[in-house]
């Protein structure tokens, strides 16, 4: 089988390539992005740019299965257009089975909501792909680590409301994606890659505090105050809006979902959040 990975040079894409290479099966793997020269040894790199749809016919030629990993572009409308371009390119190139990475809690939302790009992608995929699967990811544990490092000075994690999130490590999402790509029986399925339990804001702050030995709280602040703080810190408007949009998803319970899909698809249980955090945050002995 020839398996393409779109977004292969990114964090998740690299992890998917590693997981595919670790699984036997004699499949040929193709790494697709704007930087095909980053493909690891043993993997063919191909240029494919969602913003230049004319590049996609060659990028996707001959693929049996294609994983589409959306970009991290937070400008309103951009990622949605890229997702549509990728799916149309794949269908036009005759890819037999297209797998889309999407987000937990995806539902009908309009731009500039951060989830609109995933909603548009899922809808286009389901409507047009000959065979499709969606893998919705919960919130990255690695993004929580970034948040902890950015919040260290203020001594608290902040949100617009209490919430529950089933943080999942990127490597576990990658394992699920790889298992799905080489496995059978997943056509027409929507999976949720999640951690094994949810954590409230207060629970994750307490867990981090325990790991680092430094006090850390969880505070709720009105969305406008959070937004103003980010603008004051120099973040561009669209990034501040994207963060508020993610916070709204948290508050709505969009990430409050736990499944066994990582183990089912990836063949191993998801890593415990404590272990992922400890590996990154534990003070040197």
Ligand X SMILES: NC(=O)c1ccc[n+]([C@@H]2O[C@H](COP(=O)([O-])OP(=O)(O)OC[C@H]3O[C@@H](n4cnc5c(N)ncnc54)[C@H](OP(=O)(O)O)[C@@H]3O)[C@@H](O)[C@H]2O)c1
Measured from the CB atom, is 4 or 10 closer to ligand X? Answer: 10
Binding pattern for the stretch 29-48 against ligand X, x by CB under 6 A and - elsewhere: ----xxx------------x
Residues 126, 134: Cα–Cα separation, whole Å: 9
Question: Are residues 141 and 15 in contact, defined by beta-carbon separation less than 8 angstroms?
Answer: no
- Nearest distance from residue 59's CB to ligand X, in Å? 9
Contact status, residue 270 vs residue 174, Cβ threshold 8 Å: no
**Given the complex with ligand X, which of 224 and 237 has the nearer CB atom?**
237
Residue from 58, 62, 72, 77 touching ligand X (CB under 6 A): that is: 72
Nearer to ligand X, 51 or 224 (CB): 51
Number of Cβ within 10 Å of residue 52's Cβ equals 11
Q: Is 199 in the site for ligand X (CB under 6 A)?
A: no
Report 97-136 residues binding ligand X (CB under 6 A): 103
Of 176 and 215, which CB lies nearer to ligand X in the complex structure?
Answer: 176
Q: How far apart are CB 131 and ligand X at their closest, in Å?
A: 22
Residues in binding contact with ligand X, number by CB under 6 A = 24
Per CB under 6 A, 20 contacts ligand X: no
201 is a contact residue toward ligand X (CB under 6 A) = no
Residues 166-195, one symbol each (x = binds ligand X by CB under 6 A, - = not), give ------------------------------
Contact between 11 and ligand X by CB under 6 A: the answer reads: yes
Report if residue 140 touches ligand X, rule: CB under 6 A.
yes
In whole angstroms, the minimum distance from the beta carbon of 246 to ligand X comes to 8
Tell me the closest approach of the beta carbon of residue 54 to ligand X, in angstroms: 12
149 touches ligand X by CB under 6 A: no
DSSP letter string over 136-204?
A: EE--BHHHHHHHHHHHGGGTEEEESS--EE--B-HHHHHHHHHHHHH-SS-TT-EEEE--SS-EEHHHH
Q: How far is the CB of 44 from ligand X (least distance, A)?
A: 15
Of 4, 9, 181, 248, the one binding ligand X by CB under 6 A: 9
Q: Which residues contact ligand X by CB under 6 A?
A: 7-13, 33-35, 48-51, 69-72, 82, 103, 137, 139-140, 143
């Amino acid at each position: 089988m020839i398996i393409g990975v779109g977004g292969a040079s990114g964090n998740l894409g690299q992890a998917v390539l590693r997981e595919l290479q670790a699984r036997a099966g004699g499949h040929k793997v193709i790494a697709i992005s704007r930087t095909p020269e980053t493909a690891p040894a043993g993997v063919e790199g191909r240029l494919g740019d969602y913003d230049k749809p004319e590049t996609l016919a060659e990028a996707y030629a001959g693929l049996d299965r294609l994983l589409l990993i959306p970009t991290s572009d937070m400008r309103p409308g951009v990622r949605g257009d890229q997702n549509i371009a990728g799916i149309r390119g794949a269908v036009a190139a005759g890819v037999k089975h297209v797998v889309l990475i999407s987000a937990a809690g995806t539902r009908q939302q309009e731009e500039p909501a951060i989830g609109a790009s995933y909603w548009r992608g899922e809808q286009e995929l389901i409507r047009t792909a000959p065979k499709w699967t969606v893998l919705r990811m919960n919130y990255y544990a690695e993004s929580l680590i970034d948040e902890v490092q950015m919040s260290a000075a203020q001594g608290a994690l902040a949100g617009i409301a209490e919430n529950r999130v089933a943080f999942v490590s990127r490597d576990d999402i990658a394992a699920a994606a790889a298992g799905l790509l080489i496995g059978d029986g997943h056509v027409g399925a929507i999976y949720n890659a999640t951690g094994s339990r949810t954590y409230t804001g207060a629970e994750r702050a307490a867990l981090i505090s325990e790991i680092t030995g430094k006090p850390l709280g969880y505070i709720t602040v009105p969305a406008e105050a959070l937004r103003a703080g980010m603008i004051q810190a120099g973040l561009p408007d669209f990034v501040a809006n994207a963060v508020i949009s993610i916070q709204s998803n948290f508050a709505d319970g969009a990430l409050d979902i736990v499944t066994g899909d990582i183990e089912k698809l990836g063949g191993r249980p998801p890593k415990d959040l404590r272990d992922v955090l400890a590996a990154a945050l534990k003070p040197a002995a």
